[in-house]
Structure 1
Amino acid sequence: MAALVITAALVTTAVPASAAPGGATLRRTEFGIPHVLASSYRTAGVGAGYAFAEDNLCLLAPQIVALDGEQSRWFGPAGGNLEDDLYHRWLKQNRVVERALAAPGGPSRDARELARGYAEGYNRYLSSVGVDNLPESVCRGAEWVRPITELDVWRRVLQISDMGGAEGVTGLIAAAQPPGTPAVASRTAPTGLPDVLGGGIGSNAVGLGADGTTGRTGMLLANPHFPWQCDRRFHQIHLTIPGELNVSGVSLPGLPGVAIGHTDRVAWSHTVSTAVTVTLHRLALTPGDPTRYVVDGQTRVLRNDPVTVTVRQDDGTLTTVTQSVWSTPDGPIVSIPGALPWDATQAFQLRSANATNLRTVDQWIGMAKARDVRQLRDVQARLLASPWVNTTAADVTGTAFYGDLQVVPHVTNEQEERCGLADFDGIPVLDGSRADCAWGSDADAPVPGLFGAGNLPTLFRRDVVSNMNDSPWLANPAAPLVSYPAIVGDTGTPRSYRTRMGLEMIAEGIADSGFTLAELQAMQLNNRNFTAERGLPSVLAWCRSGAPAPSAVATDGRTVDLTAACAALAGWNTRGDLEARGAALWRVFVLRLRTDPWTVPFDPADPVNTPRGFDATRPGVSTALADAVQAFAAASIPVDVRLADVQKYESIGVHGCDGREGCFNVITADVTRPDSGVQHGSSFIMATELTRSGPRTRTLLTYGQSANPTSPHHTDQIHVYNDKRWVTERFTEREIASDPHLTIRHLR
């Protein structure tokens, strides 16, 4: 097929009724939000790829280097680069992505065209600007910046899909070498499986039906909590192919399509699921040969793939490192000395349910074409492409939907009981010496080894469904979900403070005549703090009991004067607002609390309201407050500091609070290290009302559309967020055309 020829021109005329002939029209409205009007999936991809590159090329370009397995060549081997390179070059040597693309049930023609167009759009921007003229210094003139291919896009799709699998443990794969063979590339003495989803990322999502809204229609609140830095920053996009597709929302760098968003009839969001997507398998090795293992008495040979990586040394010269990656047909061997050892008798193999999952793009297309939440559910049930997230949705008919229809290994409760040897960091360790301990499969699963949709939890409601990263159990407390495999999540256990805060606010809103769109927005940004609302009165009473000079003994045995701390907390209204004094101290106190402060224990019959009864006189509570005061003193920060002075993004104070405190509007930052900035939290926020006359949507991309510090859209939306205002989305052609900030670029 001949290459698509694209020319670019910037004009400010009225929005065209159709896409540029043979190409796409890229419109940008206020805050730089791109709206792509295209004639096909390929040209929609062109517009999306061009828009992303224009905003954030330097976010994706280093990931292309990583997917090539060349980080060590350009940036040196430190920081895990060599381990990552070994893994990605192993994937390339084994043509994992190419084989997944060609497999039965691989990506559709539309998905392939969208991905191909995305690469072409990215390359068009790179070609038009030139590497030497890129706006960001981090990659301007860099030899490692190159055009990308459709295959690169699919490699990126797999990288994100398997973020909770082998992608997150490349150091453990590199460390796995036969006894007596040193690992030339492995992180130093790993002691556990890392948080492969990246430092506690999570989300809130609320789907409201007709019985939960004042207008008797569907509403959705999307509130993913993703990193504010690096390659997992969201990028906002609106894609339109007249008569075929019209969807607005966000995606991650390098991924074509809209992952979280809405159409004119349906809106959806995702939250990180409790479902475990990987298992470990203990292999019984053949005596005298640690590279052979036994299954049901039959000897099998571990696969040995020598992988060579080019490495830049400290003096700038290049050398090569060769090390083997060992595997079985189900996945790589991993090793943690003393915990998951490879010795003379055993080795451990990791199996990931997302190891070849490229179905996500087709699922996004199918969800964007769904006319209601039941059709959306059917798309998800057919493809089961969600890699590590569940779904909350609502539609114009006033129906809300929750489903944990995602990739889940087929390990039944009975099988885990029969074959489970241990539980390592929450991951089942199964007996790899028995064939009947391998994953099973369901007839309705799209690929072998997975639970089908019939065994996964779903719920349709006319009032509300929600998820705040706890298990599916209380998606609606009035209709608990209980019939699902344990590997999906638990039931009858305490919910997180954030979940309880969310459920409380949702119940209050529904009881008060149902939600309006404005009330849903206000709930998101009210910065209520669950532990503070329940615990602060008791802490202040304890402070008063120690007057005139309350004090406590810290963990290190020192007596700490708490007079200033008690005064700061006494003046605080329990909210995580910008001007709050005491909010930062409360956070550090809660995160250092190592004792159970509740007088009424958890009751599975009343999970929303228990445990309760915060008692500050319990042993350990005052110790945590003393420890918090010491932490502030060590950082030379006053205990009554404004939250805005210690919780910052690009030197701008930010409101919100930590989910572990019980905050719904999550902003995670170490307030004793203000220069470290916001780590993750409310990133893309979307409140949508699906009316018969069209969607009414308000959004916030908190950190702005571009990661480029020189872009006018780098921090523009953080000020909107801080003012607790929202961006009114422009979805229709009339709304787009009427924006006074409108610019238009024809990509032919």
Structure 2
Amino acid sequence: MTGTAEAADSVPAATLHGHAVTIQRTEYGIPHISAGNYGDLGYGYGYAFAQDNFCELADRVLTLRGERSRYFGPDALNDDALGETADNLSSDTYFQGIRQAGTVRRLVAQPAPYGPTAQVKQMVDGYVAGVNRYLGDTGVAGLPDPTCRGKAWVGPITASDIWTGILDLDQVAGTSGVKKFVGDAAPPTAAGAAVSIGSALGSVSTPTGPAPGGVPALPTSAGGLGSNGWALGRDATSAHDAMVLGNPHLPWLGNARLYQVQLTIPGVMDVSGVSIYGTPVVVLGHTQNLAWTQTTSYASHAEFYRLTLAPGDPTSYLVDGKKVAMAKRTVRVSVLGADGKQKTVTRTLYDSRYGPVLGYGWDAGSALSIRDANAENIRSMNEWLAMDSAQSLGQLRAVQRTYQGMPWTYTTAADAGGSVYFTDSSIVPDLTDAQLTRCTLPADAGPPALDGSTRACDWGDDPTALEPGVYGPAHAPALTRSDYVANSNNDPALANPSAPLTGYPAVYGTTTQLFPRPQLGLRMIADRLTGADGLGKPGFTLASLQATTLGDRDLSGEFGRDDAVAMCRAHPVLTASDGKQIDVRAACDALAAWDLHGGATSRGAVLWAAFFDPLLETTNGAWARVPFDPAHPLTTPSGVNGDNPRVRTALADAVESLAAQGLPPDVATGEAYRWAGVPLHGCTDDSGCFNVLTAQPTSGTAGGLDPSPANYAAGSTFIMAVELTPAGPRTRTVLTYSESTNPKSPHYADQTALFSKKQWVTERFTPAEIKAAPGLQTTVLRR
């Protein structure tokens, strides 16, 4: 099949040849795809993914092409789940700027390792052809998903679409996270006020999306992106086999979802795990002898620079006293007006020597720009595909040294030899500790930024790095052990508290104070290694790893519930933030009876999160009865200081908030949180729950996780527990929201029901295991 004509920034697809691809679907619709080469494998993957999620991909492609305003108008929000959500016009301006600059074409044209390897190109081109084959087989009018059936914005995709999505994914911790500020940037007027979105739109209505005056923040420092990752070595397991737990926490809606798949080229590659929607490689999973997972790195992957503007010229800035003009690019966006007619909105994008200039805080004297360590990175695909064939930690490290493409995640891994490994191999700016101290300007009302007026604050040039400006592998924190390494989005220092990591640059993060979730994770490992958790003899088994993962312990409740109950017993009426007097006696009873877990039937976890989470975020540690002690990072801070007026107010606010939503103080977790009607379990990141569940609880039959863009929902997504035995991998998995976004699909919520009951899928990895699957469905595609 051939698609529609591609835009100037498109990447031509490779010539296709006729070969057979086999797709075998086992329980819960999990596809096992086998082919004789990378192009055919990508073809089968694209076809299978489109069967389950074509509409989600088509919607994402509309964003990546910068065409949302054309069909949905400028005001609505884009579909971005990983980066910063933006109004359609700002999003379209941003992506049209990328296309006009030819960024994707230029990056793809580079020789490997800077650009994609031949195998990666074949996977992407095959994937595109497979998606388009599916669309050709069904037709737009015949798509089974009513979400996009018959829509004018649906059509074939291109390789350029996929590569643009990969670039956007790699820049999530940087430019992608502030695209709304890039898209609406404009210099101040003569009167000194920044140009508003409304004036740039002319006759088109002003967007009602996120306010452009909000403070830009990179998403790795905020909620939404998280994970738990453990690698358990031969000294931590009962059978002395290595194990890996993968438990990414990501949004349940949009382009951040994960898709479970097995990809096989006999004799070349055999990998099982998950991909991020729109990418044809496994990013988290296992081969025969190696397993790995990834968690969000808390290193810096981008830096804001404060520009000192040239007097009288707001589009020029000073560097070492010399005037430098900003680069400008005019972008035209087609917009559906309120009258139903298409209009063209023209905007100008601005770049400094550091990168894009933002619309935030641009006045007559200064402006903010961002330099992204991943600005030139699509090497992630090379690295992930090479990892998909690796069989040992040595091979994994070699892959990381070769491609240096991990964009913003830690890697936690184990091999069949029983060793475990943790590293932050992600792309990190080459900034010395002295530079960070000297160059970081006062934050004032904006984000922390480096001094952009002097080259003394430029990034260095590490000779071991593939590209200038970033650190090479020798500087990355790394730890190899035979007991365990773990990370739950804490800085690298305490990957194993018995062997703290030191001596690496501060830009990677050196904080040893833990938030409750990583603190709980390390406690859970310690309890299992001593047998103190009640799950049997010391040491991990696959069963005890599963039970530990879904135990739904709430750490802040364990160390603070009794203090909170004592406070509300002593003060049965508390004053809320709005001045109202709130009777908290029923809430006090609910907390006293709470089982300190986030189980579906647990009553108290929802109330506790509404009470405790704001304390963690707003009181700067003053909520704790026992403050943080660096000598005891696993047990402090602890307790709840009921004498603090803010703590008392927080409980009154929590009770008032739940009542406003029609929820009683003792509402059960599974009553407040449902997906497609299925009751869920888990609790919040801030409260210290390992199995994270984050949403706005609501009354009614849908619950706070009702699958709608209006309801933000995130938490445990794909959970993998794998044991690398001499006979091969033994793996248990569950994809919490299931394989398909099509509400008419039998695989829309089937694994969700499994997750609700804390049950798992026994993975089928070998040909014999796959063949034995009841109800096995086999499709053979010929190209």
TM-score using structure 2 length: 0.89
Instruction: Identify which of 673, 679, 696 aligns with 1:653.
Output: 679
Gaps in structure 2 of 5+ consecutive residues: 1-12, 77-86, 202-206, 532-537, 706-711
Taking the TM superposition and a 5 Å limit, the aligned residue runs for 1:172-251 are 172-180=181-189, 182-183=195-196, 184=200, 188-194=211-217, 196=219, 199-251=223-275
Partners of 2:323 and 2:213 in 1: CA distance: 30
Partner of 1:536: 561
Cα distance, 1:551 vs. partner? 2.7
In the other structure, the counterpart of 1:570 is 592
Quickly say closer, same or farther: Cα 1:622–1:531, change in 2 above 3 A: same
**Aligned mates of 1:402, 1:475 — CA distance in 2:** 7
Q: CA deviation at 1:428?
A: 4.7
Deviations 1:219-241 (A, max 9, x none): 00000001111111111110000
* Residue 625 (str. 1) matches residue 651 (str. 2): yes
CA deviations on 1:567-601 (whole Å, 9 max, x unpaired) are: 22222211111111222211211124355343322
Tell which deviates more after alignment, 262-271 or 552-561: 552-561
Q: Is 574-583 or 401-410 further displaced after alignment?
A: 574-583
- Tell me if 1:392 matches 2:412: yes
- Corresponding residue for residue 17 of structure 1: none
> SS of the residue aligned with 2:430?
coil
**1:62: how far off?**
1.3
Cα distance in 1 for partners of 2:445, 2:772 equals 53
> What is the alpha-carbon distance in structure 2 between the residues aligned to residue 482 and residue 414 of structure 1?
17
Question: Partners of 1:721 and 1:569 in 2: how far apart?
Answer: 26
Deviates more, 1:408-417 or 1:43-52: 408-417
Q: Which residue of 2 aligns with 1:313?
A: 337
Q: Does 1:373 align with 2:375?
A: no
Whole-angstrom distance in 1 between the partners of 2:559 and 2:758? 25
Question: Among residues 109, 124, 132, which one is paired with 1:115 in the alignment?
Answer: 124
SS in 2 for 1:484: coil
Residue identity opposite 1:65 in structure 2: L
Checking the alignment, whether the CA contact within 8 Å between 2:212 and 2:359 is kept in structure 1 is no
- In the alignment, which residue of structure 1 is the partner of 2:151? 142
Is residue 752 of structure 2 the alignment partner of residue 725 of structure 1?
A: no
TM superposition shift of 1:474:
0.5
Q: Which amino acid aligns with 2:392?
A: D
Provide structure 1 residue ranges, at least 5 long, that are not aligned to the other structure: 7-21
| Alignment check: 8 A CA contact 2:181 2:212 kept | no
- Kindly indicate whether residue 460 of structure 2 is the aligned counterpart of residue 460 of structure 1: no
CA distances 1:1-23 after superposition (whole Å, capped 9, x unpaired): 875367xxxxxxxxxxxxxxx13
1:687: which partner in 2? 721
Q: In 2, are the aligned partners of 1:335 and 1:342 still within 8 Å (CA)?
A: no
Percent sequence identity is 43
Paired with 2:315 and 2:520, the residues of 1 have a C-alpha distance of: 52
AA in 2 matched with 1:649: W
The aligned amino acid for 1:643 is T
Match of 1:43 in 2: 40
Letter in structure 1 aligned against 2:650 = A
1:602 is matched with which residue: 616, 619, 628?
628
- Separation in 1 of the partners of 2:576 and 2:455? 54
User: In structure 2, what is the Cα distance between the partners aligned to 1:286 and 1:615?
Assistant: 51
Q: Which residue of 2 aligns with 1:85?
A: 92
Please name the residue that 1:524 is paired with: 549
Task: Give the equivalent residue in structure 1 for 2:526.
Answer: 507
Match of 1:667? 693
Q: How many residues align?
A: 725
CA gap 1:327/1:2 in 2 versus in 1, 3 angstroms:
closer
Matched, 1:64 2:61: yes
Specify whether residues 326 and 42 from structure 1 end up closer, same or farther in structure 2 by C-alpha distance, changes over 3 A only: same
* Deviation sequence 1:319-344 (CA, Å, 0-9, x none): 101111011343111121xxx3242x
Are the aligned partners of 1:226 and 1:683 in contact in 2 as well (CA < 8 Å)?
yes
Check if 1:283 corresponds to 2:302.
no
- Secondary structure at the counterpart of residue 235 of structure 1: strand
2:49 aligned residue (49, 52, 67):
52
For 1:249-287, what per-residue CA distance to the aligned partner results, in whole angstroms no more than 9, with x for missing partners?
001111111001101111111111111111122223333
> Which amino acid is 2:307 matched to?
L
Instruction: Give the AA of the match of 1:190.
Output: G
Indicate how the Cα distance of structure 1 residues 426 and 659 shifts in structure 2: closer, same or farther if over 3 A, else same. farther
TM superposition shift of 1:544: 4.6
Separation (CA, whole Å) in 2 of partners of 1:316 and 1:167: 30
**Residue 598 of structure 1 aligns to a residue in which SS?**
coil
What is the CA–CA distance in structure 2 between the aligned matches of 1:210 and 1:687, rounded to whole Å?
Answer: 15
d(CA) in 2 for partners of 1:425, 1:520: 45
CA distance, structure 1, for counterparts of residue 228 and residue 116 of structure 2: 30
Whole-angstrom CA distance in 2 between matches of 1:2 and 1:583:
53
Cα shift at 1:155: 1.0
Trace 1:267-306 onto structure 2 (pairs within 5 A): 267-306=291-330
CA contact (8 A) 1:657 1:666 kept: yes
Give the Å deviation of 1:528.
0.4
Counterpart for residue 471 of structure 1: 491
Q: Distance in 1 between matches of 2:446 and 2:356?
A: 19
Compute the RMSD of aligned alpha carbons.
Answer: 2.0
Aligned pairs (5 A) from 1:92-131: 92-104=99-111, 105-131=114-140
TM-score (norm 1): 0.93
Does 2:16 align with 1:4? yes
Deviation at 1:297, TM superposition (A): 3.7
Are the aligned partners of 2:554 and 2:687 in contact in 1 as well (CA < 8 Å)? Answer: yes
Corresponding residue of 2:501 = 481
Distance in 2 (alpha carbons) for counterparts of 1:397 and 1:556:
60
Q: Find the counterpart in structure 1 of residue 708 from structure 2.
A: none
- Structure 1 residue matching 2:630: 3-state secondary structure: coil
Inter-partner Cα distance in structure 1 for 2:649 and 2:72: 45
Deviation at residue 305 of structure 1 after TM alignment: 0.7
